[in-house]
Chain A
Amino acid sequence: MALQTSGQISLDDLHVEAGGTSGTQCSMNDSDIRGLVSAAANSQMTFSSFYGASSAWTATMTVGSFINQFFGYSPSFSMGSMTDLTVDNLGNAPILDLYHNAGTNLNLVFSANVPNSGWSTLTIGSTVFSRASASYIYQFGQTFYTWTPVSNPFGSSGTKTITIA
């Protein structure tokens, strides 16, 4: 959820938005907090510069399908499209696939090594999947998150808002 757009913001608010734990030690110069506003290390920042800032990445998917068993986005199946494939809050991790497979698996695939940390939820439309509930595997330069068994969150067509936070 983005930070408020007016009023008083605390350092703890910034820390929580950046993915930290409320009440724990932090500073405005921490990279995750600076990352909310893309500020360089040791640069001058004001609390108001964080109005509306969000650690979440959001894109819109035009849902595609393949042989009526795969739904979502996957270039290898020539299905679907996304407005953004670079997840900037995960170190610009490039999304390779995001699709539901054969009635059981939801798969999020990056064409890079993405550590199993640094984000909490994948939201597809109104359906939320927690990172902690996924199986994770990194091999051959690709990172796979898979949730199973889950029902298809994409539907068969139309658009879905995708958020990683």
Chain B
Amino acid sequence: MYSYEVIIEDGHTRLAMTDPETGAYAEVQHKGELTDEACQTTLTNFFIEFEKILNPENNNE
């Protein structure tokens, strides 16, 4: 489970969180309802996609 805060800027909603293990700080775009379940899904999916950004050669798999 991620711990996060909600940021709203110019009509865009971001979920802000810090990874306690790596110290990484992220603000992740979120669309849709602001339920915890939806936010957890957004964060989980983002970090899966972010792995592909960090390792773009895996996009071809």
Contacts and interface: CB of A to CB of B under 8 A. Distances in A.
Contacts of A139: 19, 22-25
Contacts, number: 57
A137 B50 contact: yes
A107 B14 CA distance: 17
Contacts of B10: 130, 132-133
A70 B56 contact: yes
Contact of A107 (B23, B29, B53): B53
A93 to B, nearest CB: 16
Interface magnitude class on chain B: 20 to 34
A137 B26 contact: yes
Given A69-B60, A133-B29, A134-B29, A105 B24 contact: no
A127 interface: no
Nearest to B24: A139
Interface in B35-50: 46, 49-50
B46 A102 contact: no
Interface residues of A, number: 21
Contacts of B5: none
Contacts of B50: 137, 144, 146
Contact of A148 (B11, B24, B49, B56): B49
A136 B53 contact: no
Contacts of A51: none
B27 A116 contact: yes
Contacts of A116: 27
Given A69-B59, A140-B22, 4 more contacts: A137-B25, A137-B27, A139-B25, A144-B50
Interface of B: 9-12, 14, 19, 22-29, 46, 49-50, 52-53, 56, 59-60
16 contacts: A101-B53, A102-B59, A130-B12, A132-B9, A132-B12, A132-B14, A134-B29, A135-B26, A135-B29, A135-B46, A137-B27, A137-B50, A139-B22, A140-B22, A146-B50, A146-B53
